[in-house]
Amino acid sequence: MSNNNFITSNIFLFSLHQFLLLVHTKPLVPALYVFGDSLFDSGNNNLLPTMARANFPPYGHNFVQHFTGRFTNGRTLPDFIAEFLELPYPPPYLGIHDSVPLTGLNYASSACGILPQTGTIFGKCLSLGEQIDLFKWTIESKLPTHFNSLEELSKHLADSIFIFTTGSNDYIQNYLEPTLFSTNHDYDPQSFAQLLIDDLSNHFQSVYKIGARKIIMHEIAPLGCIPHYTRKYQVVVGKCHEQTNQIVSYFNTKLHELLKSLTSTLQGSILVLARINSLGYDVITNPSKYGYSDASNPCCTTWGNGSAVCIPWLEPCPNPNQHFFWDGYHNTETGNSVAASLCFNTSEFCTPFSIKDLIQI
């Protein structure tokens, strides 16, 4: 199939999916709520005074609505999850001006992270704490009018899916960049990981108190394998900067322990780990196994010789489906699709329960 035919086919399937959503009256869960960074942002940063935006081509190159603010060529991982759940794509919270949709919202904000200072060098973004504050305000001030009782609202939240990805920028924009912050002087890698985990624990407990019960948290991907770092350290094609991966591994190890601990202490909660790190590493080191011809280079032409974001308006590569990376940091749509499908269907990837399992609980 040619690239043009693929795009046309995608447009048709997208339109058909949206039509079916309009006539389908029973999604698999009430709502999907999204929190995180540029991996999940669907347009919140478009409405903030920041340089961290993707509201220009070639971002959205294979997306029907084109450049919406998504840092990829097409759909994000939460977009695919929404499709699997037979829900509309959760719209960016900052773009909602009238009635709040009952099917979910996206609070993710590019460049930000767990720590409040992360991402501020680019301007204003929503830290994880700010995203949760906005979610709390939504639940307390906007949603109650749509339900007959607080019990109905509580059930809506308890049956909904909450999906998170955060922490990458705390390393990329913070700990691993000594010219910006002093955290790498103040903390060794293990202590910095614990700092993030302690804050993250508080945020998950806050979301639980508001009403969330089914929470999915993604590991940090193998940052030493993304073009931003492979170009910086000039590693051999197909290889990774393992020192960077080791630094990130401390966070992921502690994250596993945190989610197990919170599931046991927060009554009625289920906190699921999405094993994105091992998947990303396997894709990058064994690309042909997943159908990729290139898992080392970005598809778009970027600033910094392949190590940063796309240069506006330049044509991307003609075969994005064969690339794992869209720019120096983010996956192509196909990478997002693989991870979303695994999380929805298999408890080996999203553990101890897949999303399909969570629906039944």
Residue 209 lies in a domain: yes
Instruction: Count CB neighbours of 240 within 10 A.
Output: 22
CA angle 180, 182, 187 (to 5 degrees): 135
State yes or no: pLDDT of 181 exceeds 90: no
Q: Output the pLDDT for position 98.
A: 79
- Burial class (CB within 10 angstroms; exposed 0-12, middle 13-18, buried 19+) of 350: buried
Share of the chain above pLDDT 90, in %: 87
**Any idea which residue has 């001006």 for tokens?**
97
Q: Is 330 in the active site?
A: yes
Computed over every residue of the chain, the mean pLDDT equals 92
Residue 107 lies in a domain: yes
Q: Output the pLDDT for position 10.
A: 42
Q: Output the pLDDT for position 21.
A: 46
Catalytically annotated residue among 203, 330, 337, 354: 330
Cα 98 → chain centroid: 26
Residue 101 lies in a domain: yes
Q: Is 188 in the active site?
A: no
Q: At what angle do helices 189-210 and 242-265 cross, to 10 degrees?
A: 30
Quickly state the pLDDT bin for 360 (edges 50, 70, 90): very high
> What is the torsion angle, in degrees rounded to the nearest 10, for the CA atoms of residue 90, residue 354, residue 335 and residue 329?
70
State yes or no: pLDDT of 17 exceeds 80: no
Catalytically annotated residue among 41, 170, 199, 327: 327
Q: Output the pLDDT for position 180.
A: 67
Q: How far apart are CA 309 and CA 330, in angstroms?
A: 9
Kindly give the pairing relationship between strand 270-274 and strand 350-351: antiparallel
Residue 231 lies in a domain: yes
Q: Output the pLDDT for position 244.
A: 97
Quickly state the pLDDT bin for 12 (edges 50, 70, 90): very low
Residue 15 lies in a domain: no
Q: Output the pLDDT for position 9.
A: 42
pLDDT in tens, 226-275: 999 999 999 887 789 999 999 999 999 999 999 999 999 999 999 999 99
Share of the chain above pLDDT 70, in %: 92
Quickly state the pLDDT bin for 178 (edges 50, 70, 90): low
pLDDT in tens, 285-344: 999 999 999 999 999 999 999 999 999 999 999 999 999 999 999 999 999 999 999 999
Quickly state the pLDDT bin for 352 (edges 50, 70, 90): very high
Mean pLDDT of 180-198: 89
Residue 79 lies in a domain: yes
CATH of the domain at 37: 3.40.50.1110
Q: Which domain holds residue 54?
A: 32-359
Lowest mean pLDDT among 51-65, 82-96, 165-179: 165-179
Mean pLDDT of 33-46: 98
Note the pTM of the prediction, 2 decimals. Answer: 0.92
Q: Is 38 in the active site?
A: yes
Residue 342 lies in a domain: yes
Q: Output the pLDDT for position 202.
A: 98
Residue 13 lies in a domain: no
Catalytically annotated residue among 37, 38, 109, 296: 38
- Counting Cα atoms < 13 Å in the Cβ hemisphere of 156 gives 18
Q: Are 338 and 81 in contact (CB under 8 A)?
A: no
Based on the structure, what is the number of domains in the chain?
A: 1
Helices (H), the chain: 3-23, 77-84, 128-137, 150-159, 168-170, 183-186, 189-210, 227-232, 242-265, 276-285, 333-345, 355-360
Collapsed DSSP state (helix, strand, coil) of residue 186:
helix
